[in-house]
Structure 1
Amino acid sequence: MTIADIERQIPETVVGAVRGTVIFSALVGIAVGIACLVWPAATVNVLAILLGIALVVAGLYRIYQSFAATFLSGGLRFALGIIGLMILWAGIVVLWHPSNSGWGEADRIWFLAVFIGIGWIFQGVAELFSATTGSRHSSVWMAVLSGIVSIAAGIIMLAWPALALSTFVWVAGILLIVVSVVSLFTLPKKV
């Protein structure tokens, strides 16, 4: 049995549904990509809000973990709880409405950039560490290259937060439009 034989067995309604889904997601991707290019500051603000939500959820999860992980020592559970509270606090600070907190859009952008930059630096350090452990999951030079690039990106994000984030949004917007248009060329053919 060939792939063509299998394709002929797929009902026309399924092919139509897949085509409709691909077209819809491509149109949404194009619209979001254009929004990123037209309103980069608003896009960064939305990213900050999404980061805040993610931090609140991650903080609550860590707090839950500190109570649920009974197999850990009391000290580790306490540390998990404190880390969870710090992450939860950071999420609340990011989400706090600027008119109530005195934080403006520039402050949110800076906070977002700091979290992304620190995260990339930690990821880079972890990659460099994994390169020295003799892991066979990837080549040593690729792990070192990935680590160096991640650390450099983190430092750039911390040094020039507004420029780095606006560049990130522009590149993401352009790539989102390109990927969405290209996906339209992969629509399944009607049989």
Structure 2
Amino acid sequence: MINQEVRPALPPEAVNAVRSGMLFTAVLGVVLGVLIMVWPGVTAFVAGLLFGIALVVAGLFRLFFSFASVGLTFGLRMLMLVLGILMVFCGAIAIISPADAWWMLAIFIGIGWIFGGFQDIFGARADVSIAPRWLVIVGGVISVLAGIVMLIFSPGTTVPAIMWLLGLLLVVVSIVTLVSLPKKVPTS
């Protein structure tokens, strides 16, 4: 086997920034998911607002990654750009009207998880130096499955049921994100 040097998908200075952002959103996702499952009636408005904020932040990181990454194909770069814009847009809708946007938010989150999962699955080769390839692919598969479950169960269910399911899936996806965090790059 030929030993090839792997080129990082992000400049070394950006990896730690992306890692910090992913860590923050994943921890926020776990906390929010648990709160939603424990107090579904009490947390509806606050959870909708926090979901909106989390989507905006995650969308901004996708946008940043689409511009800052090196060595990606035009198609992958555009996929990240479109996904980032969609996540920022959906987050803004949720922030404006968190109590009324639950069903729509559940659908958008499901679609976002599916697109993000496919991006992780097919873009895994770009992240080889950031996290183990197999872990990024497993995380992508879990994200796609969580998105499909969200789309199947969210349209006809009640708000508490959507919230509980969303909370559970958010915890799962956030834990996968925590496990697949990029390796910390020493700064010089």
Q: In which range does the TM-score fall when normalised by the shorter chain? A: 0.3 to 0.5
Q: Which structure has the greater CA radius of gyration? A: 1
TM-score by length of 1: 0.43
Q: Which has the higher helix share?
A: 1
